[in-house]
Amino acid sequence: MHHANVFYGHAQILARYCGLEHPPTIWGYLQHGWNTHDGFAVGHEFVPGYPKFVWSHSVARRGRSLGEHDYVVIGSPWAYLLLQQRSSSTVDPDARGTIVYPFHGWEGQRIVGDHAAYAAEIRRVEGEVPLTACLYWNDHEKPAVRRVYEDAGFRVITHGRRGHMYVGGDDDFLDRQLLELRSHRRAVSNRMGSALLYAASLGLSIGVYGDPMVLDGDHAVLGGMERQQRLFPVLHQAHVPDRDAQDVARSELGLELTLPPAVLAHVLSWDKFA
């Protein structure tokens, strides 16, 4: 199994949905995050003939236009988590405040941007409501970054680690994220990403605003913020209309593309385990 297949507990969620305690090998590549490219990291090397399991038809279309093949649309692991949790799109009446997802890099690329200015803008726009800043794990471990949000009155958390080469990942990452999102009424970020789509799928109000920050040495093929704005102009405002947010989330997360457990097990070649 490619190590990215287990990021964020994705393989574990699919296994659980299929009635399995542990995920068998996925003989293929599972999309592990939302992007405006082909669903995978730039430069991802594929073994010819192995399927690429992706969240949506839009990702498959872009991948095929780039000359890639063997796309299989199955919906996102998040969609299967919602089926297991029977989570509705109704906001929890006890939910409070706004959760913020500052744009982040990963272990191989750092972010260039002003966290203090972003925190101040969040407070100005969101007002005097409880604020939670959810940081990527390596930002959470940097006292200087964490302190910016703490000093601005934010509660600061992380959902966990995605891991690398099968080591250090948290299988309950998305479970924890679901619990956090459902305890808030609103989610915002300075960039579109998986977290905001997850929030919109639950009925939270979302917004995209503030210093968009940039990845040091970002890949031009991804199109940066400009491509996101061009493809999803309605989402780039402080208060996105709920219907628009939920429509995009439904499409991009493949919420209506999920397969029955037996069919998913067959597609993933898990028949003999299910």
Domain assignment of residue 28, yes or no:
yes
Answer yes or no: do 162 and 230 share one domain. Answer: yes
Per-residue model confidence as pLDDT tens digits over 205-263: 999 999 888 765 555 455 567 888 899 999 999 999 999 999 999 999 999 999 999 99
Q: Are residues 116 and 28 in the same domain?
A: no
* 134 found inside a domain: yes
What are the structure tokens assigned to 70, written together?
A: 């063997």
Beta strands per DSSP E along the chain:
29-30, 52-54, 71-73, 98-101, 111-112, 131-134, 155-157, 186-189, 205-208, 214-215
Count CA within 13 A, CB hemisphere, residue 245. 29
- For 62-72, how does the pLDDT look when each residue is reduced to its tens digit (9 = 90+)? 999 988 899 99
Residue 194: pLDDT band by 50, 70, 90 thresholds?
Answer: very high
Say if CB 254 and CB 53 are below 8 A apart. Answer: no
| 110 and 22 housed in the same domain | no
Domain span at residue 26 reads 3-86+255-267
Same domain for 24 and 145? Answer: no
Domain membership of residue 273 (yes or no) is no
Task: Mark whether 157 and 204 lie in a shared domain.
Answer: yes
pLDDT in tens, 84-125: 987 555 677 889 999 999 986 555 556 677 899 999 999 999
**50, 123: one domain:** no
User: Given the structure tokens 């890639």, which residue do they identify?
Assistant: 68
CATH number of the domain that 220 lies in? Answer: 3.40.50
Residues constituting the chain: 274
Segment 10-20 shows an average pLDDT of 97
SS (H, E, C) 177-222: HHHHHHCCCEEEECCCCHHHHHHHHCCCEEEECCCCCEECCCCHHH
- Residue 107's pLDDT is 56
173 and 191 share a domain?
yes
- 113 and 211 Cβ atoms separated by less than 8 Å: yes
Distance CA 152, CA 9 (A): 32
What's the total number of domains in the chain? 2
Same domain, 82 and 214: no
What is the layout of strands, in order, in the sheet containing 155-157?
A: 155-157, 131-134, 98-101, 186-189, 205-208
Asked if 212 and 53 count as a contact pair (C-beta separation under 8 A), the reply is no
pLDDT of residue 97: 98
In this structure, what token pair is assigned to residue 66?
């780039």
Q: Which of 45-49, 136-140, 249-253 has the highest mean pLDDT?
A: 249-253
For residues 54 and 33, the answer to whether their CB atoms sit within 8 Å is no
In a domain, 274, yes or no: no
- The pLDDT confidence band at residue 166, using thresholds 50, 70 and 90, is confident
Cβ atoms of 182 and 87 closer than 8 Å? yes
H or E element at residue 58: helix 57-65
Whole-number Å distance between alpha carbons of 29 and 246: 27
Contact (CB, 8 A) for 122 and 131: yes
